[in-house]
Structure 1
Amino acid sequence: MRPKITVIGSLNMDLVVQSCRFPTSGETVLGESLKYLPGGKGANQAVAASRLGADVTLIGAVGDDIYGEKLIDMLKENKVNTARIKIVPGESSGVAIIFLDKEDNRITVIQGANAQCKKEDIDNNQDIISESDLVLIQLEIPLETVQHAVQLAKKYKKTVILNPAPARKLPDELLRQIDIITPNETELKVLTATNKVNTETLKYSIDRLLEHDVQHVVATMGEKGALYKAKHQEIKSYPGYHVNVVDTTGAGDSFNGGLAFALGSGLPISDALTFANKVAALSVGKFGAQSSMPHIDDVLKFEAIENI
């Protein structure tokens, strides 16, 4: 049976600027290309889970502009239920400006209509939340909306995955309601006020989060894979996969969508993390965020090759 996943989060039009390198402060460099691509962490993670085979509904907001229309159209093409997306009159849709060089990315997000995703929108959609196997949330919508959504999900005894991006400090009352939190290294540093990131500080930061009553911490580390620790258990490492890297923009979202799909399908956390690493590895081999998300057949083929 297909897992039912509710994603609560952002929709953005990504303006992707590609150049040979990032400019330094005060410097101008000539870009190589400009592309308009659908994105937003909520939409990306919804597409990632849907392409793998989940029954996905996205709760969010867009403006009444051409970007909003295109964002919804792309979600429909990827079989995401868009009926719960609010269209905000007189507001622009969210925009992410993504700068790419040959190895990395830097992103600035303008919230637009995402800031209008309110607590009442969560209340108006509690029927879909109550029917879900799992709820997946990020931080590109107002924090009070995130907190309310988590409270409602826990009322219905749903597993909640929080991808704490963009990085920010979070209140204890929110953290203690989260089942699984999935920070990357930068986000983990901000969450725990750690000054630098290395293997030892990562482990220390993971323990710090568990002290706030989060049940499971998954620290993603790009091509190095992920570290995982549950309360009162030993930390475990789940190595990444060496692949040809074209664009890392959607890797984190692919990982989270893959993790949600795997857990919603009933896989144990260890198998789900291995699966999510494979999904993320496949996503960096293509350009774009949503366009790079693998389908389930792609993952199965990748697994077959890995097992040879």
Structure 2
Amino acid sequence: MTGIAVLGSTNMDLVAYVAHAPKRGETVTGREFRTIPGGKGANQAVAAARAGGYVAMMGAVGSDAFGDQLRATLIASGVDTDLLRTADGPSGTAHIVVDDEGGNAIVVIPGANGTVTSLAPGDEALIATADLLLLQLELPLTAVLDGAEAARRHGVRTVLTPAPARPLPPELLSAIDLLIPNEHEAATLTGVTDPHKAAVELLSHVPEVVITLGAAGSLYASRDTGPFTVPARPIDAVDTTGAGDTFVGTLAVALGEGRPVEEALRWASTAAALCVQRPGASTSMPYRSEIDTAS
């Protein structure tokens, strides 16, 4: 079984469903509100666990009721939370508006995630035993860098989702094996809007890149292989929240199992397609049996 360590955020998603997202100064009436466990780190952990990986989560939840719910959700999905800290104060929250076309707009408030500024006792030992380490940018950058450097010391493959996008220091990029931005994040990182050109630019910093393209699929490029695109499945999206994290978590499992890259990308794309046909983030993520059946 693929061993995956996740160092990342854990949030409670506060989701409002509306016909269209409000413009500045506008008030709209929504049709539904839900609280759904999320956070990019926790989402990727849940996706990987449901896809069949052994997953352990590092990070922090708050000492509030949300913290208890977030931990319980991870455990229910089979994620090891022994190294998930509890910090005094509120848990992280994400305030999400989802429109009738399945698009979303998100405001993240870090809460307990902001207290994770470095690795805690036991974190490096966990990373050392993993096949892959999944990282995102919803924790302080110092912790992300600590995790990446620990993985590099122990020869563990590092996968970074650069979201929310920001300029990345060279010392972090030099410790990353696979970078997985979406097309907007790739443009922010490179200043190049064309995904193929952005991928070429990113390969000057990291060995492998996957740029997710939404309904257009994903673009893979490495220093050893020419770029190629894997198309997405044509589906009617209900809610795209969590689709990228589903893709990353599932892809990590497939790569850890040693599947060829194109096969792994297709399997992850299938998982993301299943995710967007359901509302919510962690609640919409498919199990391995569902992914295999749909593949």
Q: State the TM-score, normalizing by the size of structure 2.
A: 0.97
SS of corresponding position for 1:24: coil
> Which residue in the other structure is 1:208 paired with?
201
In 1, Cα distance between the equivalents of 2:50 and 2:264?
Answer: 16
In the alignment, which of 233, 248, 252 is matched to residue 244 of structure 2? 252
**Contact 1:60–1:114, Cα closer than 8 Å, also in 2:** yes
Deviations 1:249-308 (A, max 9, x none): 0100000001101011111222111111111111111111011100011011102xxxxx
In 2, Cα distance between the equivalents of 1:215 and 1:87?
Answer: 35
SS of corresponding position for 1:59: strand
> Which residue in the other structure is 2:223 paired with?
231
Deviations 1:68-119 (A, max 9, x none): 0000011111110011100012x21000000010120011100000011131
Post-superposition offset of 1:202: 1.3
> Which residue in the other structure is 2:106 paired with?
107
In the alignment, which of 200, 210, 215 is matched to residue 218 of structure 1? 210
Of all paired residues, the percent bearing the same amino acid is 42
Post-superposition offset of 1:244: 2.4
Post-superposition offset of 1:232: 4.4
Q: Which amino acid aligns with 2:93?
A: V
In the alignment, which of 280, 286, 293 is matched to residue 294 of structure 1? 286
> Which residue in the other structure is 2:131 paired with?
133
Post-superposition offset of 1:193: 2.1
In 2, Cα distance between the equivalents of 1:204 and 1:241?
Answer: 24
Superposition pairs of residues 260-279 of structure 1, within 5 angstroms: 260-279=252-271
In 2, Cα distance between the equivalents of 1:256 and 1:5?
Answer: 12
Q: Which amino acid aligns with 2:200?
A: D
**Contact 2:136–2:162, Cα closer than 8 Å, also in 1:** yes
> Which residue in the other structure is 2:76 paired with?
77
More divergent stretch after superposition (124-133 vs 65-74): 124-133
Post-superposition offset of 1:169: 1.1
In 1, Cα distance between the equivalents of 2:252 and 2:173?
Answer: 18
Say if 1:236 and 1:126 are closer, same or farther in 2 by CA, change over 3 A.
same
> Which residue in the other structure is 1:16 paired with?
15
Q: Which amino acid aligns with 1:208?
A: E
Say if 1:146 and 1:209 are closer, same or farther in 2 by CA, change over 3 A.
same
- Alignment partner of 1:283 is 2:281: no
Deviations 1:210-251 (A, max 9, x none): 112x00010001121100110143110111101221110010
In 1, Cα distance between the equivalents of 2:59 and 2:288?
Answer: 25
In 2, Cα distance between the equivalents of 1:245 and 1:232?
Answer: 34
Q: Which amino acid aligns with 1:5?
A: I
More divergent stretch after superposition (228-237 vs 109-118): 228-237
Name structure 2 gaps, 5 residues minimum: none
In 1, Cα distance between the equivalents of 2:22 and 2:276?
Answer: 23
In 2, Cα distance between the equivalents of 1:260 and 1:108?
Answer: 26
> Which residue in the other structure is 1:306 paired with?
none
In the alignment, which of 109, 112, 122 is matched to residue 124 of structure 1? 122
SS of corresponding position for 1:119: coil
**Contact 1:223–1:281, Cα closer than 8 Å, also in 2:** no
Q: Which amino acid aligns with 1:204?
A: K
Q: State the TM-score, normalizing by the size of structure 1.
A: 0.93
> Which residue in the other structure is 1:170 paired with?
168
In 2, Cα distance between the equivalents of 1:53 and 1:10?
Answer: 21
CA RMSD of aligned residues (A): 1.0
